[in-house]
A = this chain, B = another copy of it.
Amino acid sequence: VARTRIIDRASIIRVALQIADESGLQSVTLQAVAKRLGVTAMSLYGHIDNKAALLDGVVEELLAEFALPDADLPWRERLSRIGRAARDSARRHPDVFPLLLNRAAATPGAHRVREAVHAALRDAGLTGDDVYRAERLLTTMIVGFATSEVSGRFTQSAADVEADYVYLERLLTRMIAIASEPDEGDPAPSAGPAVESA
């Protein structure tokens, strides 16, 4: 009757993410997405290339939703908030978030988050390749932690997981402090000799 386009790429991806959050990734099926949109599965092909592209879009949507802190805040506070935001995102999207570790972070959304981390690290005093290296390590650890937390790999109490996270955050803060020392970013021999034992 009406010639209004019923669906578009954005609504397809939004619904797919919704289904993943509610019922898991394996419930994200072209027919399920189409049904919720009141349309047949075949019509989705007018807006997406195939299912793999749909899942790429879902991950990108998760990244797009990712709230970045105000750039005026001190760098330490910014990094701390980004870490918390990652864990929040993982909790909100427990089936989709883990995909972040499995794909090349080459999408616009990934770039945007990465840039925010770079900026904070530069403000922390890192320069050159140290910025990129620290970002990679830091992001890998945060995403790895949040994924573990949300997929049941950590079996301790919530309070213990929180304690682990605080510990991890301190460790990363130290990494940044060491990397920003004038004598180049080597976390090697400073305080005492490493502990040897039987």
Q: Which residues of A contact B (CB under 8 A)?
A: 74-76, 98, 101-106, 123-125, 132-133, 136-137, 140-141, 143-145, 147-148, 151-156, 163-164, 167-168, 170-171, 173-177, 180-181, 185-188, 190-192, 194-198
Contact = CB atoms under 8 A, between A and B. Distances in A.
A73 to B, nearest CB: 12
Count of this chain's copies in the oligomeric assembly: 2
Ranked nearest first, the 10 interchain pairs of A and B with the lowest CB-CB distance are A144-B144, A102-B151, A104-B152, A170-B187, A125-B195, A177-B194, A140-B144, A180-B195, A123-B197, A101-B147
A173 B186 CA distance: 12
A12 B19 CA distance: 32
Contacts of A133: 163-164, 167
Given A147-B102, A188-B170, A136 B123 contact: no
Given A123-B198, A136-B148, A140-B141, 15 more contacts: A74-B196, A76-B196, A101-B101, A102-B153, A133-B167, A137-B171, A140-B145, A140-B148, A143-B144, A144-B144, A170-B186, A171-B175, A174-B194, A177-B191, A177-B194
